[in-house]
Amino acid sequence: MPEKLRIVSLSIDHLSFRECLDTVIGWAKERMPSYVCFANVHMIIEAHRSAPFLEQVDRASLVVADGKPVTAACYSLYRKKQERISGMDFMPAVMGAAEKEDLPVFLYGSTPEVLDRLATEIARRYPALRVAGMISPPFRPLSPGETDTHLEAINQSGAQLLLVSLGCPKQERWMAVNHQKIRAVCMGVGGAFPVMAGLQLRAPKWMQNWGLEWLYRLILEPRRMFPRYLKTNSLFIYLMGIERLKQKRKGSFTIKTK
């Protein structure tokens, strides 16, 4: 198992993009009930604020570093170079691997329009990939009966990889509660569905490389993103400063292992 690097609240798995992909594909071949969380600043702060959510993410099979601030924190606190493993990048990579290995994929989340467009784009990019099914759940709490119906549909489809796009923290909570009932690897990919479907733009590569995707999203959606960034990013910087001060006093780097 990879070593764990605790960043403020969450323990991040220290592994490469390739290692993460190989691990997920291996689990999918075995139909291992499991779930993967892609941790960005928003998720770390949600976990810091909510002990139940922290426990749900910490129980994930893998928690990987999604975002330049998180990879930078790994180096700042532990002197560990951590490759960025974002849901946006992992989704096309896992689909390419699933096509080669003939592993069926199920899409769960977003809207019917997004799913239809996404299915068309997947067929164009990965013509041999089997999309076992798609479900767009309503934007309200589901009844136990509705959830059971969805889980049965996923299992009956034969899917070995389940891509979940419900947004943080909803998708992580859903996976934590339901993954043991699913014979597939669950991955919470956040807003990757509309981006891959071509309905939303992603920041240019140079902005991604410089850790400026947050700025790009702020420009596109200032009313929605400004309050979030004001609260989460500033708190993350503050908490990271406290962690650095603690380490300076200790004079050493500590790594948590499973």
254 pLDDT exceeds 60? no
Kind of pairing between the strands at 185-188 and 62-65: unpaired
Q: Which domain holds residue 188?
A: 4-193+205-209
Task: Kindly state whether residue 127 falls inside one of the protein's structural domains.
Answer: yes
DSSP 179: G
Task: Kindly state whether residue 97 falls inside one of the protein's structural domains.
Answer: yes
Quick one: pLDDT at residue 220? Answer: 74
Task: Kindly state whether residue 240 falls inside one of the protein's structural domains.
Answer: no
Task: Kindly state whether residue 223 falls inside one of the protein's structural domains.
Answer: no
Q: What is the pLDDT of residues 79-133, one digit of tens each?
A: 999 999 999 999 999 999 999 999 999 999 999 999 999 999 999 999 999 999 9
Asked whether the beta carbons of 172 and 188 are under 8 A apart, the reply is yes
Rounded Cα distance between 91 and 188, Å, is: 10
Quick one: pLDDT at residue 126? Answer: 98
Quick one: pLDDT at residue 246? Answer: 84
Rounded Cα distance between 23 and 18, Å, is: 8
Task: Kindly state whether residue 228 falls inside one of the protein's structural domains.
Answer: no
Task: Kindly state whether residue 239 falls inside one of the protein's structural domains.
Answer: no
Q: What is the pLDDT of residues 19-53, one digit of tens each?
A: 999 999 999 999 999 999 999 999 999 999 999 99
Asked whether the beta carbons of 256 and 4 are under 8 A apart, the reply is yes
Q: pTM for the complete prediction?
A: 0.89
Task: Kindly state whether residue 125 falls inside one of the protein's structural domains.
Answer: yes
Quick one: pLDDT at residue 204? Answer: 80
Q: What is the pLDDT of residues 146-184, one digit of tens each?
A: 999 999 999 999 999 999 999 999 999 999 999 999 999
Angle between helix 68-78 and 222-250 (nearest 10): 10
Task: Kindly state whether residue 64 falls inside one of the protein's structural domains.
Answer: yes
Total domains, the chain:
1
DSSP 254: -
Helix, strand, or coil here: 102? coil
